[in-house]
Structure 1
Amino acid sequence: MIIPINDIEDQFFNVILGLTYIIKKHEIPFNIFKPIGRSNLNKIYSEEISKKKIFFIKNALSMRSAQILLKDKKENELIEKVLEYYEQNKKTKNITFIEGFTEKSDDLSILDLNYKIAVSLNAEILPIFFLKNFCLNDANQAIQELSYKKISFSQIIFLQNSPFQNSYKKLFYDSLEDFIKQKNSRHYKNTYLFEKDEIKIKHMKSVIGCIPFYSCSSIMRTIDICRSLKAKIINYGNIQKFRVKSVVLCTDNALNILKKIVSDEILLMIPSHREDIFTAVFLAIIEGVKISGVLLIGNKNINYNKKKIFASIFKTSLPILKTNLNIIETLLILKKYQFHVYEDDIFRIKIIQKYIGKNINQNWIRSLKNNSIKKEKFSPSSFKYLITSLAKKTKKVIVLPEGTEPRTIKAASICADKKIATCILLGCPKEIYLIAKTMKLSLNKDVKIINPSFIREEYISSLVKYRQKKGMTNSIAKKLLKDNVILGTMMLKLGKVDGLVSGAINTTANTLRPALQIIKTKNNNSLISSIFFMLFPEKVMIYGDCAINTNPSYEELATIAIQSANSAKAFGIQPKIAMISYSTHCSGSGPDVEKVRKATNLVKLKYPNIVIDGPLQYDAATIQEIGKIKAPNSNVAGKATVLIFPDLNTGNTVYKAVQRCGKIDAIGPILQGMDKPVNDLSRGASVEDIVYTVAITVIQSQKE
């Protein structure tokens, strides 16, 4: 995703023009997507799009729709709509160039919004930074700003906005090299690496383009100036063809102004009350002097029909424009639009494409053929989209025993509106409708409300049958079925519903005990375990077991790892399992370390295709730099997607610490090994947590 880091105005689009041109020249197929607002690329590449050499994905949201969502503080909804539209409309696996959002907003930082959209789309970020000069301080500021915002990137393009000599570009590189050599502080150490006239940034981050100012890129046509100013056209002349290299403000005497006409690519700005000046200029034009146009400024009205000079000038090719803006307003607008390229200016587009294209690192362009910039990651937004879209594929019914709990009611309403599931709320209908009314919720037909007292009798004999060996009687069953969790579990056992979600007000024990007694495990499972989906800003990880097994044996720990690997695959996560311990490989010893080592070896023995390593410390498993030091030969260290903790004490503590201190979402606990899907909620669960737990339960029921 190509994003502007500072205010680069229309030059940002020019960079995109150059990038797409040079990639097309290398015959690399690509897609174009602008999430918000209208893109001009579809018109510029209309021929290639019609021949299906380039696929254009229409914008997900209009600028107005996006601004309304941002004003209403619905940023997450905006990103969700962008992701959903992209996933539904992408056609190929080609590289997709995503145009960043450039419209200024009082409600959100442009950089923050672009970053969040890029993360949600799993897109590599390509920042474009506008430098006043190719100077070290500006370059350093660009990279520091990205680091401060914790925005990761692999390449960056610097764009220069004023003329300079090529030797100055070399001076920029050389001064950066000296800067790197001199800095020894921890903040700067190893941040940059200079090599072969390129700036290399840690982890192969590099400047892939330093684009000098090029005067031809700002040569507008007279018609472009007219459009930018929204000026009135007094005389068309050759308004489409004439180009303007410079603008001359005419406030001097007429003779001095005529001396300033040294080129035929000049636009004269003449105050509308200065009849002496435009009369002199028009006479010169009639006599053969060539200019690109005249712009009359100011709010004085001119009766063109009564002035004979206009009758003569209307017969020439001179474009004449009129604006009611004053001099300062006019100059500010022209400065703002000097780099704006209109889609019908084919000549200028080709100049810009070729110029910017030749200033982009060609090795990087060639690397795109292998999709080498694609990062292996799974963002929280794409994970949420995946589970909701998978859930929508089949119509499943999920029972929510805590039917009068406000968060649960709201979650059921959302699930129905998004067609994730049909939810059954167990509880008094009058009470549920009253709570819904208080929250201004309208419950549609896919939210079903069942009064438990009306159906309990139906399940007494079945409960007695399933628990007869444990001394169950009709009277005991009747009493137990007053508990909605037990009632919901019986509904699941008899196939009345496809899954159960509880725990917003019940303890884990109250939710799971009936499931363990009535639903029980699958035939091939001797163990029930749990996982949490941990939604970090740029990735999704699985933690297990953090809710069920207090102190598993090494055999049980191996089973938890295998179950977690299967769950990861089911939800689109490539399992790379780290068996967590206080020791990495042979750095420590003791019974706890040995248990983890034996569990790891058992998984390798049973399932050689599972990617697993252990024992590994948490930092060695999750941080690539540390993993390379502590476990250099590991195929998991630093890249783990699934963490298996040695016991419940460790797992539960770590997940809560990461969730609360890191302020991230944790979906779960999700149960593994049950014959039918039952899932527990944290009593601190948000409405969103409940919605996605319902979606996951639906997906689990599809696997039955």
Structure 2
Amino acid sequence: MNVNALYVVSKEPRAGSFFVSMGLMDILKRNFKRVAIFKPIVRGEKIDSDIETLLSVFEMRQRYEDAAGVEIDMVESYLARGEESRLYEQLITRFERLQNHYDFVLCLGMTDMHLKELVDFDVNVQIAKNFSVPVVGIVSAKEKEAEEVQEDIALWQQSLKEEGIRPFAFFINHVSDSLVCQMERFAPFPDTPCFPIPYEKKLDSPTVLDLISLTGGEILHMKDETALERIINKPLIAAMHPEHFLEHFEEKDLVVVPADRADIFLAILSANRIPGFPSASAIVVGGGMDIAPTVMKMIESDETFRVVLIKVPLTTLEIIMKAQRSEARITPRHRRKIALALGHFANHVDVGLIERSLKKTKIDIVTPVMFLHRIYAKASQHRMRVVLPESMDERILRAAETAQRRKIADITLLGNEEAVRNRAGMIGVDLEGVEVIDPVTSELKKRFAESFYRLRKHKGVTLENALDMVENVTYFATMMVHEGLADAMVSGATHTTRETVLPALQIIKTKPGIDIVSSVFFMCLDTRVLVYGDCAIVPDPNPKELAQIAIESAETAKAFGIEPIVAMLSYSTGESGVGADVEKVREATRIAKERRPDLLIEGPMQYDAAIDPAVAEKKMPGSKVAGRATVFIFPDLNTGNNTYKAVQRATGAIAIGPVLQGLRKPVNDLSRGCSVEDVVSTIAISAIQAQNIDEIQAAKD
């Protein structure tokens, strides 16, 4: 029987059940088109933050009202009157309604911390039993020995089985370093997977946003909302002279300062600008005094100062006490923490085992969200090294942090390390785990120059020229890929397409038998993903080049899990048309089929015949491609570029790309108007291309 619902619950407070729910939702969203959440018992708050966060982060179209069950006060009332059956009937009705409209329902249980006098943990067990769904149990290993954890799970599993409930899996959170080895050998229940997950301090640390929510603080200065996501190291009272304050000041400290201490504000401003000095997570001003206008003007005029300034209507002591009690949370605004959580889950959980355990039926529908989630998951399975040369661009820095946190790839940035890390600190980006290399001072510079000289001396390049050229970040990054020190390069946020592609053509060069670099767009429609090539690079390919574009586009589709069914597009279908343009497509089709008889390639055909089965039946009856095409090859850049933009605007499709193809190793070009999300998806795509090259090479070896 297929599993189409799970009930996630922990017996103890702050065990990390929401963290696990996010990780499971990440898996579900890339395997099912329609996923719902249901929290049978909610607190009496206006909006449940867990529901709100999941709906927002995973872009779910489900209404909040359908995800929220019965308020806990009402549950208590039902139980006090001995009307449990009425409660369960009401919940079952709502749960089954979701099952009828969605492919999978993820249920969120309520922990002891939020239960009441008459409502204990057993109500979760009874709800899961009445829903007839497997339970995902969450156990905290914080301050526990391995034997205690094992006993907790054994007792829990036994109690579930006594109620006729099947445990789906147990997740053991907050596993300390000393327990890691013991937990890796911890498999007491062969029929129930147990996933130990190491403790991650950053997930357990409060942010500036959490402090504001707790204290009701007013933001006096904030240049960038992402600064609210900065993690708080410790609260620090700035009641001493500046020189003594700086001795105690550490990175990400929450500085609590009286409003009239202009000297402390100047010290913090200076430290923020000078490399090697710490940057505060936030500055908090207590009491009823206002900051002097001249000091506020200095803070507001400093464009590099991205630290949040907060006014809190409390005394210094009260602020410190609140800060110490502030708890880590995950809400839709905690984007960086969400990326870290998803990466941490994927890095320590056997996702394949969970997917196999679900025993889901194959679903042919692929939504844009599913496609992106699959890309991220595939990239993280075997992490590749991706180099980003444009390290001073804020979008690149934020994408580097996200990619590193989500374990999509291992990131290398190029530039002066002190300047790059200082810039990251100013905008609140955490570059932990990210490598920074300076092309000007790197010991690799001489090696790269000699290698580039050997490659280009026949074009008149001297060794002196080569030394100058490899200081250019794009050339240096390309040499890293060429020399195997990086698996892929992503550039173009501040460089032109020519500046990105030319070094790749000179150094990496095209694959054997390929004369040109071309591109594809992944066109993510509502229920499927199509591949369009070439809509960005080659203006007017000849028949041989067009055949190469078709073959490379088919290979790209296959690498990303799309079955390649290739339509060679023209203004006529089959043998009906004449003219130079249609003859070019006809000849390209012949060449492509001759070179790759294993691929499904047909043409020429019109777009409607390629995509619509009804039209295909009339125009090309019996065709194995018409009406089923997944890869669309346009005859020239004018046609392709206009078509992809028309489809994008008319249908609301998401166009991911351009993805470059034909090179020996992956290099991808960004649009200069790219978003952070565009950069992250391009990093993931580049990593998958590199994985594919490794797989091909391994097969040859």
With normalisation by structure 1, the TM-score equals 0.51
Amino acid of the structure 2 residue aligned with 1:449? V
Q: Note if contact 2:33-2:365 (Cα within 8 Å) is conserved in structure 1.
A: no
Q: Report the CA distance shift for 1:434/1:604 in structure 2 as closer, same or farther (over 3 A).
A: same
Q: Secondary structure at the match of 2:3?
A: strand
Following superposition of structure 1 onto structure 2, how do residues 212-251 of structure 1 map, counting pairs within 5 Å?
Answer: 229-230=77-78, 232=80
Contact 1:621 1:636 in 2 (8 A): yes
2:681 alignment partner AA: Y
What is the aligned partner in structure 1 of residue 410 from structure 2? 422
Identity %: 40
The offset of 1:672, in angstroms, is: 1.8
Structure 1 pair 472–487 and aligned structure 2 pair: CA distance change class (3 A): same
The AA in structure 1 aligned to 2:438 is: N
Label 1:593 to 1:449 Cα distance change in 2 as closer, same or farther (>3 A).
Answer: same
Displacement of 1:417 in angstroms is 0.4
Does the CA contact (< 8 Å) of 2:387 and 2:477 recur in 1? yes
Q: Distance in 1 between matches of 2:85 and 2:400?
A: 62
Which runs of structure 2 are paired with 1:98-177 in the superposition (5 Å)? Answer: 101=38
1:32 to 2:4 alignment: yes
Instruction: Quote the Cα distance in structure 2 between the aligned partners of 1:372 and 1:622.
Output: 28
Q: RMSD in angstroms over aligned alpha carbons?
A: 4.6
2:627 partner amino acid: G
Gaps of 5+ in 2: 67-73, 87-125, 133-358, 694-701
Contact 2:33 2:370 in 1 (8 A): no
What is the rounded CA distance, in whole Å, between the counterparts of 2:589 and 2:85 in structure 1? 73
CA distance in 1, matches of 2:376, 2:647: 25
TM-score, normalised via structure 2 length: 0.51
In structure 1, the partner of 2:667 is 678
SS in 2 for 1:703: helix
| Post-superposition offset of 1:694 | 1.3
Q: In the alignment, which residue of structure 1 is the partner of 2:372?
A: 384
Cα shift readout 1:309-358 (whole Å, capped 9, x = no counterpart)? xxxxxxxxxxxxxxxxxxxxxxxxxxxxxxx9995699xxxxxxxxxxxx
Q: Which of 424, 434, 445 does residue 436 from structure 1 map onto?
A: 424
Q: 2:26 aligns with which of 76, 83, 86?
A: 83
Whether contact under 8 Å (2:385, 2:486) holds in the other structure is yes
> Residue type of the partner of 2:469?
L
The residue number in structure 1 matching 2:439 is: 452
- Corresponding residue number in structure 1 for 2:658: 669
Q: Residues 32 and 97 of structure 1 are in contact (CA less than 8 Å); yes or no, is this contact kept in structure 2?
A: no
Secondary structure of 2:440 counterpart? helix
Instruction: Kindly state the Cα deviation for residue 229 of structure 1 after the two structures are TM-superposed.
Output: 4.1
Determine the structure 2 residue equivalent to 1:197: none
CA distance in 1, matches of 2:520, 2:33: 34
SS in structure 2 opposite 1:383? helix
Matched residue, 2:683 = 694
Give the Cα–Cα distance (whole angstroms) in 2 for the partners of residues 427 and 665 of structure 1: 32
In structure 2, do the counterparts of structure 1 residues 661 and 100 end up closer, same or farther at CA, with 3 Å as the change threshold?
same
CA contact (8 A) 1:581 1:615 kept: yes
Contact 2:29 2:35 in 1 (8 A): no
Q: CA deviation at 1:240?
A: 9.0
The answer on 1:558 being equivalent to 2:515 is no
Shift in Å at residue 416 of structure 1? 0.6
- The question of whether the paired residues in 2 share the 8 Å contact of 1:546 and 1:652 is answered with yes
Cα distance in structure 2, aligned partners of 1:441 and 1:634 = 53
What is the DSSP-based 3-state SS (H/G/I as helix, E as strand, rest coil) of the residue aligned with 1:496? coil
What amino acid is aligned across from residue 559 of structure 1 in structure 2? Q
Q: Distance in 2 between matches of 1:483 and 1:461?
A: 15
Question: Which of these residues, 448, 451, 458, is aligned with residue 462 of structure 1?
Answer: 451
Query: Residue type matched to 2:390 in 1?
Result: E
| Deviations 1:177-202, CA, capped at 9 Å, x for gaps | xxxxxxxxxxxxxxxxxxxxxxxxxx
1:259-408 equivalent positions in 2, closer than 5 A: 376-408=364-396
Offset of 1:626 from its aligned partner?
A: 3.5
SS of 1:230's equivalent in the other structure is helix
**Could you say what secondary structure the match of 1:602 adopts?**
helix
How far does residue 431 in structure 1 lie from its aligned partner after superposition?
A: 3.4
Kept in 1, the 8 Å contact 2:2–2:360? The answer is no
How far, CA to CA, are the matches of 1:686 and 1:602 in structure 2? 39
User: 1-side partners of 2:15 and 2:610: how far apart?
Assistant: 42
Give 1:679's aligned amino acid: N
Provide closer, same or farther for how the CA distance between residues 685 and 81 of structure 1 changes in structure 2, counting only shifts above 3 A: farther
* Match in the other structure for 1:527: 516
1-structure distance, mates of 2:397, 2:670? 14
Q: Measure how far apart 1:118 and its partner are.
A: 11
| SS of residue matched to 2:523 | strand
Following superposition, the deviation at residue 502 of structure 1 comes to 0.8
Residue of structure 1 in register with 2:108 after alignment:
none
Aligned counterpart for 2:565 among listed residues 559, 572, 576: 576
2 CA distance for matches of 1:66 and 1:628? 54
SS at match of 1:526: coil
Partner of 1:334: none
Counterpart Cα distance in 1 of 2:33 and 2:669: 39
Asked if the contact 1:671/1:678 (under 8 Å) is kept, the reply is yes
Alpha-carbon distance between aligned partners in 1 of 2:360 and 2:577, rounded to the nearest angstrom:
38
Task: Write the deviation string for residues 227-256 of structure 1: whole angstroms up to 9, x where unpaired.
Answer: 6843645xx8xx8999xxxxxxxxxxxxxx
Letter aligned with residue 513 of structure 1: L
CA distance in structure 1 between the aligned counterparts of 2:461 and 2:85, rounded to whole angstroms: 93
Matched position secondary structure for 1:636: coil
Partner Cα separation in structure 2 for residue 503 and residue 386 of structure 1: 24
Question: Partner letter of residue 402 of structure 1?
Answer: E
Q: Is the 8 A contact 1:404 1:425 kept in 2?
A: no
Q: Distance in 2 between matches of 1:688 and 1:399?
A: 17
CA shift, 1:663, in A, is: 4.1
Q: What is the match of residue 157 of structure 2?
A: none
* Kept in 1: contact 2:29–2:373 (CA 8 A): no
Return 5+ residue gaps in structure 1 as ranges. Answer: 1-28, 39-57, 70-76, 131-225, 243-339, 347-370
Q: Does the 8 A contact of 2:387 with 2:413 survive in 1?
A: yes
Distance 1:373 1:411, change over 3 A: closer
Alignment partners' CA distance in 2, 1:227 and 1:605: 70
Query: Residue 83 of structure 1 contacts residue 382 of structure 1 at CA under 8 Å; is this kept in 2?
Result: no
CA contact (8 A) 2:29 2:369 kept: no
Higher alpha-carbon deviation: 670-679 or 631-640: 631-640
2:111 — aligned with what? none
Assess if the C-alpha contact under 8 Å between 1:396 and 1:498 holds in 2.
yes
Aligned partner of 2:596 among 595, 607, 615: 607
Secondary structure of 2:432's match? coil
Give, as a single letter, the amino acid of the residue that structure 2 aligns with 1:404. M
Question: Secondary structure in 1 aligned to 2:366?
Answer: coil
Matched to 1:574, the amino acid is: E
Shift of 1:677: 1.4
Query: Structure 1 residues 518, 114: CA separation in 2 closer, same or farther (over 3 Å shift)?
Result: closer
417 and 345 in structure 1: CA distance in 2 versus 1, 3 angstrom threshold: closer
Match of 1:475 in 2: 464
Question: In the alignment, is residue 649 of structure 1 matched against residue 638 of structure 2?
Answer: yes
Q: How does 1:537-556 map to 2 (within 5 A)?
A: 537-556=526-545
| CA distance in structure 2 between the aligned counterparts of 1:228 and 1:372, rounded to whole angstroms | 36
Distance 1:406 1:241 in 2: 56
- Alpha carbons of structure 1 residues 231 and 439: separation in structure 2 relative to 1, 3 Å: same
Contact (CA 8 Å) 1:32, 1:96: kept in 2 or not? no
CA change 1:421–1:30 in 2 (3 A) is closer
Q: Deviations over 1:525-545 (max 9, x none)?
A: 333221121222322111111
- Secondary structure of 1:691's match? helix
Q: 1:392–1:420: 8 Å Cα contact kept in structure 2?
A: yes
In structure 2, the CA distance between the partners of 1:561 and 1:96, relative to structure 1 (3 Å rule), is closer
Deviations 1:99-129 (A, max 9, x none): 6658899799x9xx99998999xxxx9xxxx
Code of the aligned partner of 1:592: D
Within 2, Cα distance between the matches of 1:422 and 1:586?
A: 51
Output the CA distance in 2 between the equivalents of 1:546 and 1:480.
30
